[in-house]
Structure 1
Amino acid sequence: MKTGATEAFDRLPTQLLTTMSCLPGNFLLFSDMEQQMGRYHLYDALATVDEADKARISDFDLYRSQQECVVSQKACIDAKAERQHAWNLDKYKFLPMIEQTWRMRPGLDWYIFAEADTYVFWANMMHWLKKKSGLNPRDKIYLGSRSFVAGRPFAHGGSGYILSGGVLKHLVEKHTNLTSQYTEKGTQECCGDLLVALALDDHEGIKIRQTWPMINGEKPTTLPYGRNHWCEPILTMHHMNAEEISTVWQFEQTRKTDRILMIRDLYDSLIAPKMQETRENWDNGSDDVCYISPDPAAQERADGQARERQKKEDEMSDVEKEAWKSPRKCAKVCESEIPEKDSDDKEKKLDRNCFQYRWHDEVCCTSKSFKMGEPKEKPADNNNKKARWTSGWYMKGIQDWIDAMGECTEPAWKIPEL
């Protein structure tokens, strides 16, 4: 697990009290500074970076500031102000961490790399790797949730990624200068998880095998429930704060079944009880299809993504042409998708493409999935209706889809694909 000195004491304690407590102690904690947290040691992933590189590359300025601090890091470093610098420093940790991991824990079948805000469902993870994946850890294997930078695929670090013992052994033992080779490359690239992918491609000739949605970059409130996010087992989630980690851990511990935990279980237990028709000052993440006022000023105010996903006027129904006018008219898009005469058609229910909406400043957007989302700050002028964020869910359509799906009789395990 990787963290940083500016955040370690905020994030790691909850992990150690919850998800990591079920591991037999065979895990390693890496940071950009050597520290002790109770009985747990945090290793400095950057200790093996050449001193000349640290002195030469400005991204290491924060590293030096942390080393020079003679009191607590919080007293020396303003974590908010240094957030971008911490991000810039972070990318240099990935490959040294991989090298140190193999040297400290050689010969294991699988190596799972995660961030301090990653939640790992260990029971699912172990069951899948040992019994369901069909993968041989002696082969060269690289698994994760695929992202791209300039067309180059890599496993998103925050979602967590998995390396087989076979590839790790060869990568580290046959290429002893990995850290120095990719430190300079790090000055030209955005991210350390991309550097891992480049090293694996350069030296081992392998690319990520897509394991999404089981390895996932969302969390319970932002998961897009629906097609591709229902009967699939969940292995990881990302952007989890300490309270969210504790909540999901408590849910795992109090389940009254030992069957595989699927994405729908998160919805049923953690999200469904909190769902309602509408919420004010809320963003539920609806952004698949948008309807914007034809007024040029409104078009200009709308963000680029909304304009890109705007439905063409000649393809709109009469209801859709009115959707931008108010939250109520926006809600009617989902309500009118399936005509009354087809309301009992199971196939149409399963093919539903509108489950929820979001309305703000004469922009209506709908979503092909359903998710909770997060609060939005109240507008300074609460009487200005256009400035409010209103989110709504078509609860009947959601329930119709769930009923049409029926029970998940078997977990839909993902077959990792190139």
Structure 2
Amino acid sequence: MIHSRRRITVIASLFGLFLLYHFVSIRSDLQQSYSYSSQNKRYDDCPPLPGVDDILVVMKTGVTEARDKVPVHFQTTLRCIPNFVIFSDFEEVIDGVRIYDALKNMDTEVKQTVPDFDIYNRLQEQGRSGLDSSDFADEDNSAIGKPNNPGWKLDKWKFLPMVQETLRHNNRAKWYVFMEADTYFSWPTLLQWLTHFDASKPHYIGTETQIADVIFAHGGSGFIVSNPAMQLVSDEYADRNIELNEYTDAHWAGDCVLGKVLADVNVPLHFSWPILQNSNVGELDEFTENFYRKPWCYPAAAFHHLSSQDIENLWVFERRRWTEKQKYLLLHGDVFKELIYPELTNSRNDWDNLADEEQPGSVSFPACQSLCAANADCMQFAVRESKCYLGKTPRLGVRKPNAHSGWQVNRIENMMHHVPSCSSPTWGN
């Protein structure tokens, strides 16, 4: 009898260990399926990031760009972020990090019947081998996006399902920070900005854009949604799934679709320009007075339309400020003084500084330079196709063959001496 009891005890113990092993194993598999934040350890070159554990960073990409644009983020923008998830239209692993299918759980009938999903269905059946050269063909962005680009047409469908998939991944974050693969975030700046908002309330924060009667956050500039607002969108999409899929089908911009749903649940957009930028550093006009805010003393939390090299350069720039100067907050004035101004010269070949006031007639570079020098308001000049262009505010610009640019460096230095000192940042709340 005693032996039998011992035997039962041993068997029960072994069975308990068996169940424990499988529970831990299953739990581990689930965590691996939905989280890889543990892969992203903190590095010595990370700045102090109070509040970073309260955010989930959500990156959106697509199969035709993911392998080119995503990897740089693992050692730059995502390097110091403990919680992030990346969504695409194709599930795969890139540099050891799982990329999730944002469309995996959306209406099957839509995916089988809407032509926009042709590329998606080929991917599901054949993987990357199902792609052809036309899927990678790019085109210039127009007033209605890139209607001939298959990946771009599919992209609009990701926004609403991505909200639900994000909450499946983590429904406990206070803030959900959405970005694209050509976006850079200054995390110390963003986190300090978010302390001005109550995360327990519905918030939708982004760079204001409008299509017809819908005002929404521009997706590429990055946008932030609080947990209560995320829950409202998820519930609304579940309740009105057919209607909202039909609305998406008839629309061309997924960020606008998301903005409409947030408006429907009474979460208006908090305007964020110039804190979140739909521009890269070369396109910025830090002295502009053409808009309702003057950028100089505003924080610069995000930039868009960036190459992988641009993202790496911004990361190196910020890391140097953190480690050598203990400067964590980035203002637009800092961007100009520390990044843009040192690059300005009297003459730069194969470069377009985006000067936009066209002068009459065909003009050589020295003649264009003289026109600018004779005009007290001129800060920069450029020659493109033998045409002279002047500009009243300095911008860095972009590389462009056969363009020739120059700046009135002394005048620009004088401009910097007459802007506000920014004793405290302007948050615009």
Q: What TM-score bracket applies, with the shorter chain setting the length?
A: 0.7 to 0.9
Q: CA separation in 2, counterparts of 1:148 and 1:331? A: 39
1:226 aligns with 2:287: yes
Q: CA separation in 2, counterparts of 1:82 and 1:64? A: 20
Secondary structure (helix, strand or coil) at the match of 1:93 reads: helix
How large is the Cα RMSD of the aligned pairs?
2.3
Corresponding residue of 1:145? 207
Secondary structure (helix, strand or coil) at the match of 1:265 reads: helix
Q: CA separation in 2, counterparts of 1:82 and 1:272? A: 33
Contact 2:237 2:244 in 1 (8 A): no
Corresponding residue of 1:81? 137
Corresponding residue of 2:252? 190
Corresponding residue of 2:20? none
Encode CA deviations 1:135-170: one digit per residue, 9 max, x unaligned: 212222211111222353221100001111121122
Contact 1:45 1:93 in 2 (8 A): yes
Corresponding residue of 2:97? 40
Pairing 1:20-169 to 2, within 5 Å after superposition: 20-24=78-82, 26-70=83-127, 79-81=135-137, 84-130=149-195, 133=196, 135-150=197-212, 152-169=214-231
The structure 1 residue matched to 2:302, chosen from 227, 233, 236, is: 236
Question: How many residues are paired up?
Answer: 354
The structure 1 residue matched to 2:395, chosen from 353, 358, 371, is: 371
Query: What TM-score, normalized to structure 1?
Result: 0.78
Encode CA deviations 1:50-73: one digit per residue, 9 max, x unaligned: 221112211111112222335667
The structure 1 residue matched to 2:275, chosen from 206, 210, 214, is: 214
Pairing 1:257-276 to 2, within 5 Å after superposition: 257-259=325-327, 260-276=329-345
Corresponding residue of 1:359? 383
Q: CA separation in 1, counterparts of 2:384 and 2:92? A: 46
Q: CA separation in 1, counterparts of 2:215 and 2:285? A: 22
Q: Which has the higher contact order (CA 8 A, sep 6+)?
A: 1
| Letter aligned with residue 373 of structure 1 | G
Q: CA separation in 2, counterparts of 1:249 and 1:79? A: 31
| Letter aligned with residue 262 of structure 2 | L
Identity of aligned residues (%): 31
Q: CA separation in 2, counterparts of 1:70 and 1:176? A: 29
| Change over 3 Å in CA distance of 1:82–1:355 after alignment to 2 | closer
Contact 1:286 1:357 in 2 (8 A): yes
The offset of 1:9, in angstroms, is 1.4
Q: What 5-or-longer segments of structure 2 have no aligned partner?
A: 1-58, 140-148, 289-293
Q: CA separation in 2, counterparts of 1:393 and 1:179? A: 54
Corresponding residue of 1:335? 373
Corresponding residue of 2:67? 9
Query: What TM-score, normalized to structure 2?
Result: 0.76
| Change over 3 Å in CA distance of 1:332–1:408 after alignment to 2 | farther
Q: What 5-or-longer segments of structure 1 have no aligned partner?
A: 294-323, 339-351, 379-388
Contact 1:6 1:77 in 2 (8 A): no
Q: CA separation in 2, counterparts of 1:32 and 1:40? A: 15
Secondary structure (helix, strand or coil) at the match of 1:19 reads: coil
Q: CA separation in 1, counterparts of 2:226 and 2:371? A: 47
The structure 2 residue matched to 1:399, chosen from 388, 408, 413, is: 413
Please identify the structure whose Cα radius of gyration is greater: 2
Contact 2:201 2:226 in 1 (8 A): yes
Encode CA deviations 1:293-339: one digit per residue, 9 max, x unaligned: 4xxxxxxxxxxxxxxxxxxxxxxxxxxxxxx644444444543444x
| Change over 3 Å in CA distance of 1:79–1:279 after alignment to 2 | farther
Corresponding residue of 1:247? 313
1:277 aligns with 2:339: no
